[in-house]
Structure formats: structure tokens, C-alpha cells
């Protein structure tokens, strides 16, 4: 479940911070990516909401590049906004 995954990320970040204070343990939400998994749901999407795997990866790398260890244990979307737990 989403709640279980969020708790795993949070708890793993706390554990890693003890021995690796510069670590960054986060969850990432790429948005709706054009893939076989999203194929059945794509017809109802508004224009511009579907992204390519390449663009999703580039967005997430940009998000990661701007995070610090103080933000470890959280989940972020492709815009760099924190996703509520």
C-alpha cells in the first residue's frame, strides 16, 4: 500500500542517517508516464498530462539534484513538490 511504502521510506531514511548522514532516501512520483502500465488509462487524460519515459527521468533527476539530506524520508513529484504522506 502507499501508506506502507511511505513508512518504509521514512524509517529507512532515519536508519540510514545514523551511519550515513549524507544519504538521501526518498520516494519519487514521476507523474503519468507513457508506458504499457498506463496505456489503459491514457484515453481519459487531459492534453499535456502524459509524459515520455525520457522526460520523466530528466524531471526526476532534476528534482534529486536540488534535494539535501535534510529532505530525506519524504516523497517528491516530478515538479519537486513534496507529496503528502
* Domain presence at residue 43: no
Q: What is the pTM assigned to this prediction?
A: 0.88
* Domain presence at residue 55: yes
**pLDDT for position 45:** 87
Q: How buried is residue 18: exposed, middle or buried, by Cβ count under 10 Å (0-12/13-18/19+)? A: exposed
Domain that holds residue 16: 2-34+50-77
Nearest CA to 34 out of 54, 56, 51 is that of 51
Across the strands, what pairs with 29? 77
DSSP secondary structure, 5-19, as one string: HHHHHHHHHHHHHHH
Per-residue pLDDT of the chain (85 residues; tens, 9 = 90+): 899 999 999 999 999 999 999 999 999 999 999 999 898 888 888 888 899 999 999 999 999 999 999 999 999 999 999 998 7
* Domain presence at residue 82: no
Amino acid at each position: 500500500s502507499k501508506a506502507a511504502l511511505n513508512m518504509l521510506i521514512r524509517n529507512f531514511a532515519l536508519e540510514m542517517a545514523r551511519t550515513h548522514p549524507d544519504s538521501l532516501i526518498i520516494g519519487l512520483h514521476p507523474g503519468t508516464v507513457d508506458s504499457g502500465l498506463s496505456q489503459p488509462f491514457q484515453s481519459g487524460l487531459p492534453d499535456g498530462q502524459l509524459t515520455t519515459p525520457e522526460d520523466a527521468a530528466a524531471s526526476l533527476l532534476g528534482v534529486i539534484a536540488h534535494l539535501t539530506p535534510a529532505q530525506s524520508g519524504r516523497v517528491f513529484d516530478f515538479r519537486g513538490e513534496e507529496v503528502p504522506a
